[in-house]
A and B are shown apart, each in its own frame.
Chain A
Amino acid sequence: MKCTECGNVVPVKDFRYLYNARIDSSISIRQCTKCETWLAVDELNGVVTQAVGAGEAPWGKSAGIEGVAAA
C-alpha cells in the first residue's frame, strides 16, 4: 500500500494500526511509519482513501437520525 502523503510503499500491516472507530465499517485509521501521517485505509481493498486531519470523519456520519438528516 502506498502512503498518499510521502509515497512510502510497504504492506498494509506495516502501516501502524491505530483504531477503527466504527466497528461495522472496513475503513480503519493507520499511521505511515515514515511520515507519521494518519491515513484512512480501506481494509478490504488495501488502499488509502484519505489523510485524516483534525475534525475529519472518514467513516461518514454517525448512525441514527442525525446522520440521516445530514445525508
Chain B
Amino acid sequence: MTQAALRDTSVDVFEKNQEWWWAAEKKRSTRLDYLRKAIWKKGAIGGLYAPGVKVDLERAKLHTQKAKEMEASPDPFVMKFAKILAHVLDNKTIFITDQAQLVGYTGSLPHTMAWDPSCASILNEEAYNDPTAIPDPVDENQQVIREICNYWIGKSDLDKMMPVFDMEDLMKMLSGSIGWGVPLARGGYSNKDYEYIMTGKRAFGDIIEELDRKIDEVDAEVHKPGATAETARMYDKLNNWDAMKITLEAGIRIAKRYARLARIIAENFEEDPQRKEELLKIASACEQVPAKPPRTLQESFQYDIFIQMMSRNEAIEGAWPSRPDYYHGPYYDKDVNIDKTLTKEEALDLVGEFLIRAAEVCQFKPKWTREGLQGIDGTWVWTMGGVKKDGSDACNDLTIAFMQAARLVRVANPTFSFRWHPKVSDEVMREIFECIRQGLGYPSMRHDPVLIANSMHWHGHPIEEARTWVHQACLSPCPTTKRGYQPMRMANATANCAKIIEYVFSSGFDHVVNMQVGAETPDVATLTNFEEFFGAWIEQMKTIFSILVRAVNRARMLAPTLTPRPFLSGISERSIESGLDTCEPSLAQGNAWITAFTWVENIDSLAAVKKLVFDEKKYTLAELKEALAKNWEGCEEMRLDFVINAPKWGNDDDYVDDIMLRCLDEAAKFSKVLKCPSGNNWPILPENVSGNIHYANIVGALPNGRRLGDALYDGGVSPGPGLDKNGPTAVLKSCGKIDHITGGRAFLLNQRLSPTQLADEKGYQLWRAYMRTWADLGIDHIQFNMVDDKTLRSAQKDPEKYQEVIVRVAGYSAHFVDISRKTQDNIIQRTVQGLG
C-alpha cells in the first residue's frame, strides 16, 4: 500500500476489511512504528535467508581467535570456554537503535546472524556453502569462513561427541530420516531457573558474592590437612565456580559498555532533549542490570534481554522459554499503578519494543532447521496467564498489555501461549480472542489444570513447582525452578513418526536414505491379521524412539565435561549451590520428552489397513505393499479408496479413535521403560512445527493415501487437512477421548475458524462456548487460524501487498509470505470450522 493510501484510509475501514496489519500501523505510536520497521526479517523464507541478512563473521572470528590463543593454556576446558565467552562479550560490536529504549543483540550489527563455529562442523559447512548469506566481499569472506571451518574440524562440540557415541545409532540419526537435530547441550531449547534469577531477589552481583564465598570456603577446605574423595572432586567445583564467575562478570561489563555508549551519544551527539533523556535512562538501566536487580519495568525488560543475549552467545538456543507477564508484572504494577512514573501508553510502547527486540534475535542455523521452522528463527513461545504457586490467578495488567502490544506490533515471533484455568477473567479472555480474531494465530490455549497434573504424573514435579511451568519449546511444559528446570532440551529426540508405519512395509529398510534404520520385522505380506500387523508397528515405534533417546541420554551424560554451560550454570541455583555444571543429570528432576512429528499418519494408516485389508478383505497386504513401493503411481482408484473409504481421525468415529488410543497407550507404556539420565520418563508429545513439509520428500508413500512428496498432516493430534468432515465438536470429541494427563506430555491441535463468522460480539460468545467444551473435555492445547481463503490466495498472488499477514503454522506463527508454497497450500486446505 502506498503511503498516501495508508494516510487517507481510516482505521475503521481497515478493520472492517479485516486488514489488521494496516490498522495496526495507523494505531501504534510513531516510536513503535519506527522500531517495528527498523528490524530485519530473520526467519528464513522457506529454507533460505532473506536478502541482505548475513552471517556474522565478527563473533566467529573472536571465538576462534581466543580459542587459538588458549590452545597452550593449562586451564581446564570449562575455564577456557568461559574465557572465550568473556572475550566475545568484551569485544563484540554494540549498537543502539534510534528511538529504542532497550538495547542488546546477539550479532554485531542489526542485519547479522550470530554464528558460533564451535558447535558443529556440519553447521560451519553450511556457512561456507551459502553464498547468499556471506557478507560482501563474498570471495574474501568465504576464504575467512573456510579458515574458521578448517580450524574447528575435529574441535567442535559435535566432532568431539561423535567418537563417543554409538556409531550405528549416530548414522541412523544423522541420516535425517527419523530424527531432527543433533544431541548437543549447546544446541537446542534452554529453559532458565527464573525462580532464582528473575524474582528481584538477586542479580549477577549478588551471585558473584555468593560464588566468592563458596570459592573461599572450598579453597580453604582443600588445603586443610587430609585428603578424601570429596576433596578430589572439589577442584572441579572450584573450576566450575570460577568459570561461572568469569561469565557473569563479562555480562556486567558488556552492560556497562552499553551504558557508556548511551552516555557518549547523549552527552556528545544527541541534540533532541527528549531523546537525550531517554539515552541517559538507558545508561542508568545498563549500569543497574544485570549487576543489580531491576527497579523499573524498563530495567526488568533490559535485564531479561541481557540474560537472553548472553545465553545465546554461549549456546545456539532454538527456543525462548519465558513467562514475561508473571516475572515482569510486578514492575509494571509498580511503575504504572503505584508510582505512576509510566502512563499506560508509555508502558505499552515499552512492551511493544520488548517484543520487537525479541523478534530481531537470530543465530545462524542449518537448513534443515530453517525448513522445519519456516519464517522464524526459533520457537519463542512465551507463556502467559496461568496460576501462581498457591493456585491463584496469575494474570495481571501486564498480561493485558502484552495482548494489546502484540496486536500493534504484529511480530510472528515471539508468540504467546496462554495458560487457561477456570479463574481467568472475561476481560483477559476478550483480549486473547481479539488477538486471535485479528489473525495473529496466537495465543494458543493451554489447559493449566490438566498440564499441571500432567507434569506431576510424568515427571513427578511437586505441585508448587509444576505451577511455575513455561513452554520449553512450542508445547512442552517445564518448571522454572532449581530442580525442575531443564537446561537443554536436545532437539534430536524428535521422531519422524510416519516412518513407523512406513517401516512396517519395508521391514525397517529406509528406501529414501537407502539403509536399514528400523527393526527387521517380518515381510508385511506374511502377516495374517491386524494384531500381527499392529505388533510390527509397536516394534518399529520402540526401535525408532530408542535410537533417538539413547543418543540424547549419552550426550546429556557427557555434557558437563564436553560441552559445559558456565553462564547458564551461573544463573542456576543448583549449580551455584553444588559447583556442578547445570546439565549434570543428578541435579535435575528430569523433564524429557520425545517430540512426535507426523503422528496421526500412523492412526489413519492403521485404520485404513484394518478396514480395507483385514475387515473387508478388498486388498491384500502384498498388493498394498506393491502400490506403496510404486508411490501409488498407476493405482489412483485404490489410493482414493484408502483415503475416502477408511475412517479418519477427528470425526468422533470410535473405529479409528480407538486405534489412536491403542497407539498412545503403547507409546505411554514404553515411555516409562525409557529413562533419562536423571532417571525420569520419556513421554511423547505429538506436534510438528513445519516438519510436515521438511519430511515431505523423506517419508515414502503411506496407507493413508499419501504419496512421497505430499505434505504430511499439520501435526499433533490435528486431523488431516480437509479430512475432519463432521464439524468442530466432532474434532474436540475425538481429541477428548485421549487422557491428556496420562496419554502423553502434550497434544497439539490446530483449528481453522471463519473470520466472517466470528466478527462481532456474537462471534466472541460462540468462541467462548466452544472453549468451554474444549475445557470440559480436558484437552490440553488448541490454536487457531482465522484468516480466510481469499486473503491467503491473494497473498500468494501478490506477496508484496500482504507482507504482514500472519498464520499459525504449528506450535508457532509465521508471516504467510515467508513459508513455502507447499506449506501455504497445506494451511489453506485445513478445514474451516463453523461454530454454533
User: A: which residues have CB within 8 A of B?
Assistant: 12-13, 17-24, 26, 28, 43-44, 53-57, 59, 61-67, 69-70
Using Cβ atoms and an 8 Å threshold, which residues of chain B touch A18? 709, 822
Q: In the complex, which residue of chain A has the Cβ closest to the Cβ of B642?
A: A23
Using Cβ atoms and an 8 Å threshold, which residues of chain A touch B636? 26, 43-44
Instruction: Tell me if B725 is interfacial: C-beta within 8 Å of chain A.
Output: yes
Using Cβ atoms and an 8 Å threshold, which residues of chain A touch B829? 21-22, 59, 62-63
Given A21-B829, A23-B706, are A62 and B720 neighbors across the interface (CB < 8 Å)? no
B822 near A21 (CB under 8 angstroms)? yes
Q: In the complex, which residue of chain A has the Cβ closest to the Cβ of B830?
A: A62
Which of B50-58, B331-339, B787-795 is found at the contact surface with chain A? B787-795
Say how far A23's CB is from chain B's closest CB, in angstroms: 5
Q: What's the Cα separation between A6 and B636 when bound, in Å?
A: 26
Instruction: Tell me if B48 is interfacial: C-beta within 8 Å of chain A.
Output: no
- Which of A55, A63, A65 is in CB contact (< 8 Å) with B754? A65
The 5 residue pairs across chains A and B that have the minimum distance between CB atoms: A55-B797, A65-B834, A66-B832, A64-B832, A21-B825
A24 near B723 (CB under 8 angstroms)? yes
Given A17-B707, A55-B793, are A44 and B822 neighbors across the interface (CB < 8 Å)? no
A19 near B822 (CB under 8 angstroms)? yes
Q: What's the Cα separation between A28 and B271 when bound, in Å?
A: 62
Task: Pull 20 A–B residue pairs with CB atoms less than 8 Å apart, ordered by A.
Answer: A19-B709, A20-B706, A20-B709, A20-B710, A21-B822, A22-B721, A22-B829, A24-B640, A26-B636, A28-B707, A44-B637, A44-B640, A55-B794, A57-B793, A62-B830, A63-B725, A65-B754, A65-B834, A66-B788, A67-B789
Say how far A49's CB is from chain B's closest CB, in angstroms: 14
Q: In the complex, which residue of chain B has the Cβ closest to the Cβ of A52?
A: B821
Q: In the complex, which residue of chain B has the Cβ closest to the Cβ of A16?
A: B709
B796 near A24 (CB under 8 angstroms)? no
Using Cβ atoms and an 8 Å threshold, which residues of chain A touch B722? 22-24, 62-63
A65 near B640 (CB under 8 angstroms)? no
Interface size on B, residues (CB 8 A): 47
A69 near B828 (CB under 8 angstroms)? no
Q: Which B773-801 residues have C-beta < 8 A from chain A? A: 788-790, 793-799
B710 near A62 (CB under 8 angstroms)? no
Q: Which of B709, B723, B756 has the most CB of A within 10 A?
A: B709
Say how far A36's CB is from chain B's closest CB, in angstroms: 14
User: B: which residues have CB within 8 A of A?
Assistant: 631, 633-634, 636-637, 640, 643-644, 696, 704-711, 720-725, 752, 754, 756-757, 788-790, 793-799, 822, 825-826, 828-834
Given A22-B721, A22-B722, A24-B722, are A65 and B757 neighbors across the interface (CB < 8 Å)? yes
B828 near A57 (CB under 8 angstroms)? yes
A66 near B789 (CB under 8 angstroms)? yes
Q: In the complex, which residue of chain B has the Cβ closest to the Cβ of A46?
A: B636
Say how far A39's CB is from chain B's closest CB, in angstroms: 14
Say how far B347's CB is from chain A's closest CB, in angstroms: 38
B825 near A23 (CB under 8 angstroms)? no
A65 near B828 (CB under 8 angstroms)? no
A70 near B704 (CB under 8 angstroms)? no
Using Cβ atoms and an 8 Å threshold, which residues of chain A touch B707? 17, 19-20, 28
Q: In the complex, which residue of chain B has the Cβ closest to the Cβ of A70?
A: B789
Using Cβ atoms and an 8 Å threshold, which residues of chain A touch B640? 24, 26, 44
Q: What's the Cα separation between A57 and B724 when bound, in Å?
A: 20
- Which of B696, B723, B793 is in CB contact (< 8 Å) with A23? B723
Q: What's the Cα separation between A67 and B722 when bound, in Å?
A: 11
Q: What's the Cα separation between A63 and B822 when bound, in Å?
A: 17
Using Cβ atoms and an 8 Å threshold, which residues of chain B touch A63? 721-722, 724-725, 829-832
Q: What's the Cα separation between A18 and B821 when bound, in Å?
A: 11
Given A21-B826, A22-B829, A55-B796, are A61 and B789 neighbors across the interface (CB < 8 Å)? yes
- Which of B643, B799, B834 is in CB contact (< 8 Å) with A64? B834
Using Cβ atoms and an 8 Å threshold, which residues of chain A touch B797? 53-55
Q: What's the Cα separation between A18 and B829 when bound, in Å?
A: 16
Given A43-B636, A62-B829, are A23 and B788 neighbors across the interface (CB < 8 Å)? no
